[in-house]
Homo-oligomer: A and B are copies of this chain.
Amino acid sequence: MPARPDDHLTIGEVIRRTGVPASALHFYERKGLIFSERGSGNQRIFPRHMLRRISLIIVAKRLDIRLSDVAEVFTTLPTDRAPTHKDWQRVSRIWKKQLEERRRAIENLEQELTGCIGCGCLSMKACLLLNPDDALGGRGPGPVRLQSAPPP
């Protein structure tokens, strides 16, 4: 039973409370997502409010948000205390928008695919599925550049 001050946790305690393994915590620390002080023997000592950040990382993982995006919103979070309810609302609304975007992208693909199921042409020059950002039509007949933008 470590006689830690009540607002600091060892990595073992953090692991028990969050379920996040040490290797991942180390990793997050290296990425600057979380941070710790160090104890007498160089052990990590986490301020208790770090649990909140870790919760946010766990949520982000569920939402398939990349850690770099997490890092970005984390720059707007206080480092010396737990994020407030308002902080959470801001962050979660950002992430909700990302979800919405993803959903809309999928809905668009569903539309396209539905249209193309009946067609089935898969023509390299005419098929919408094969030519996403299709500016096709302004360039007259003939072969059309695929996949990459025209060179400048």
Using CB atoms, name the residue of chain B closest to A86: B120
Copies in the complex: 2
Using CB atoms, name the residue of chain B closest to A52: B122
CB distance from A110 to the nearest CB of B (A): 5
Indicate whether A129 sits within 8 Å of B18 (C-beta atoms), given known contacts A92-B116, A106-B102.
no
Q: Give chain A's interface residue range (CB within 8 Å of chain B).
A: 35 or more
Chain B residue numbers with a CB within 8 Å of A130 are 55, 58-59
Binding site for B on A (CB under 8 A): 16-20, 51-52, 55-56, 58-59, 62-63, 85, 88-89, 92-93, 95-96, 99-100, 102-103, 106-107, 109-110, 113-114, 116-117, 120, 122, 124, 127, 129-130, 132, 143, 145-148
Using CB atoms, name the residue of chain B closest to A58: B130
User: Quick check: B106 and A110 within 8 Å, CB to CB?
Assistant: no
